[in-house]
Amino acid sequence: MIIMKDEQGSEPWKESRLGIPTASNFHLIVDTKGNPSKSRTKYLYNLAGERISGQMSVDSFKTFHTERGNTVEPEARNELSFILGEELETVGLCLADDGSFGMSPDALLRSQKVGFEVKCKSFFYHCEMVDAGKLPTDHFTQVQGGMLVSGYDHWVFFAYFPGAKPLLLKIKRDNDFCNRLQNELVLFNRELDALVKKMSQSA
């Protein structure tokens, strides 16, 4: 894993991830069974556009939950650090060894080879997650993708809302899914390279 230090959300971080498939969007490439997603082609076009233009795709907008996460996440990370009794490391973009896909984890504990996904959603969604007591399907691909990028065997999912009961889960690597995801990423990147070459003015 290649770890970059640019702060998440900064301009250097945004530039470093242009045109690269990242774990938060792996669900646009495959579904939870590792089969091609219906959103695959649109994501392919968006990343090709980023590579050609050098600008972030217009679809890369911030949702309410993303904005809330950016505000509350430091507090959540401090709470998680206190619960675990460990100092968590914040990093920027992390790339697979070949640099062809990546992720931006909310924290790493490299001494134990564990990554972290922190969610700070509205109280309604927080209640749903705590009540279910399991990893939400919506985040399965992202969490498993983090393990694929890092090579780690475990990931911690932490749902936090100030003053409310948190949800802390340790998720194991699903090797079968990660193998399927990796194969699809190889195919996706081949198509992405070909599309960029086809659509570039210099082609």
**Per mean pLDDT, which range of 51-60, 163-172, 187-196 is the poorest?**
51-60
User: What does the pLDDT average to over 118-127?
Assistant: 95
Fold of 2-14+62-199: Lambda Exonuclease; Chain A (3.90.320)
Query: What's residue 57's pLDDT?
Result: 81
Per residue in 78-109, pLDDT tens?
A: 999 999 999 999 999 999 999 999 999 999 99
- pLDDT at res. 201: 76
**Where along the chain do its domains lie?**
2-14+62-199
Give percent of the chain above pLDDT 70. 93
pLDDT at 66 exceeding the cut of 60: no
Average pLDDT over residues 105-129: 95
Q: What is the mean pLDDT of residues 176-191?
A: 97
Q: In the beta sheet, which residues pair with residue 155?
A: 115, 171
Cβ-Cβ contacts under 8 Å for 157 (sequence gap 6 or more) = 116, 117, 119, 135, 139, 143, 167, 168, 169, 171
For the cut 70, the answer to whether the pLDDT of residue 60 exceeds it is no
Q: What is the structure's pLDDT at 140?
A: 97
pLDDT over 60 (residue 120):
yes
Asked if residue 65 has pLDDT above 60, the reply is no
What local confidence, expressed as pLDDT, does residue 67 receive?
63
Rg, Å, the chain Cα set: 17
Count the Cβ atoms, other than its own, within 10 Å of residue 39. Answer: 14
Mean pLDDT of the residues in the chain: 93
Total residue count of the chain as it appears in this document: 203
Residues 6+ apart with CB under 8 A from 59: 42, 46
User: Mean pLDDT across the stretch 134-150?
Assistant: 97
Task: Categorize the per-residue pLDDT at 59 as very low, low, confident or very high, splitting at 50, 70 and 90.
Answer: low
